[in-house]
Amino acid sequence: MKRTPVVFIHGAWLHALSWEPWVERFTGRGFRAVAPGWPGEAATVGELRAAPGGLAALGLDDLTEHYAGIVRSFDTAPVIVGHSVGGLVAQQLITSDIGRAAVAIAPVPVNDVPVNDVPVSDVPAAGVPLPPPDRGAPGEGLVTLTPEQFHHFVANTLTAAEAGRLHEAFAVPTSYRLLTDLGRPAGPRGPAAVADVGRSARGPLLLVSGQEDRFVPDEATRAVYKLYGDTAAVTDLKQFANRAHSLVIDDGWRSVADHVLGWLHEQGIRGGPAEH
């Protein structure tokens, strides 16, 4: 029996290694789980922090095309699990009939749903610094979150100590161009941040939100869920109380992972024989 592949896609300011516990858990349930990095992403957090320039020109189209190629490379159509901008990409792929099913966790909204009513740069003492105009080509550059900013926007339900630990373990710079494609820190959404929400000929989709998420508020994910209301394809929503944008990497990640595994089982999607 072939094992069902699962492709994990991480979001901005996190490294692909942040998915390691998920990969282990899904592999233990018989899935063929992989967490490939973004184009230009070094193999380790330290290497990427030391030389992040490969990410500077990365835009949303680049990211979507990169993961579309990976998903299509499997003999068996994979499940796609994405967090944050990875959740947006997961929706773009599944609504293009790429992949067997998709899970979008705290996903950056698609189409016309606002990202957030309060731009990151407008929040006192926590604004994300923008790269100066002379860093890279126009519209390019890198944006880094300080430990304090990471705590405020990504891990706000955690203690400063736990947020600091996660920042040290996984936080990396991200592309300014990508953020502008997403309408962050302030501005219109780029034309690439869309998904065909009316498409019925697609695999099932699960949207997941943290109800205390400051970066992608729960109400934004609920609004995206409503966009799918006119399609006959399976679309489900799961809300986690008292959880922030860090819900895939903090101490409560197992409850989210196990809900995803249970949902996949309900859709008739299972791994092969479990690895021991």
- Domain layout of the chain by residue ranges: 5-266
Crossing angle of helices 60-72 and 85-94, rounded to 10°: 50
**Could you report the per-residue pLDDT of 146-188, keeping only the tens digit for each?**
999 899 999 999 999 999 999 999 999 999 889 888 886 555 6
The CATH number of the domain covering residues in 5-266: 3.40.50.1820
Taking residues 202-226, what's their average pLDDT? 95
Token couple for 167: 């920042």
Strands 101-105, 205-210: pairing is: parallel
Token couple for 93: 């792929």
Residue corresponding to tokens 């994990």: 8
Length of the chain: 276
Strand partners of residue 8: 81
CA distance 213 to 242: 9
CA distances from 78 to 2, 68, 111, 226 (A): 12, 11, 24, 25
pLDDT of amino acid 212 = 94
Using pLDDT thresholds of 50, 70 and 90, give the confidence band for residue 2. Answer: confident
